[in-house]
Amino acid sequence: MKNVERTSGQPVFCVPIHGLTLKGWAVRYVSGVDDTEIKSGYWLSQWSTSADRMSATFAFEPKLVMSFGEKLDAKQVSDALWKNAEIETKVVKIG
């Protein structure tokens, strides 16, 4: 993992929306994160780019809570993680 620093900012919260089903494409972690809490098979659960798109905040969790409607969007995130941080992921069709 390169060019990545752990943030210690505001806590992140997730509120399930009942009746909402995840469909489309998700990003699944394979390898490259230097943290024993992140396991292969975890799902990308947060992706937020800065206003200038020069950095991104992300997280992986065991539970699937996030999806992209378009495969291209998920692929761009997966490619950015590899290119900028050497984090290997794969794009998975869900729903």
> Could you count the other beta carbons within 10 Å of the beta carbon of residue 86?
14
74 within domain boundaries: yes
User: Number of folded domains in the chain?
Assistant: 1
Res 9: pLDDT: 65
Q: Which residues constitute the domain of residue 67? A: 24-94
2 within domain boundaries: no
Low-confidence ranges of the chain (pLDDT < 50): none
- As to burial, measured by CB atoms within 10 angstroms (0-12 exposed, 13-18 middle, 19+ buried), residue 25 is buried
38 within domain boundaries: yes
pLDDT in tens, 44-53: 999 999 899 8
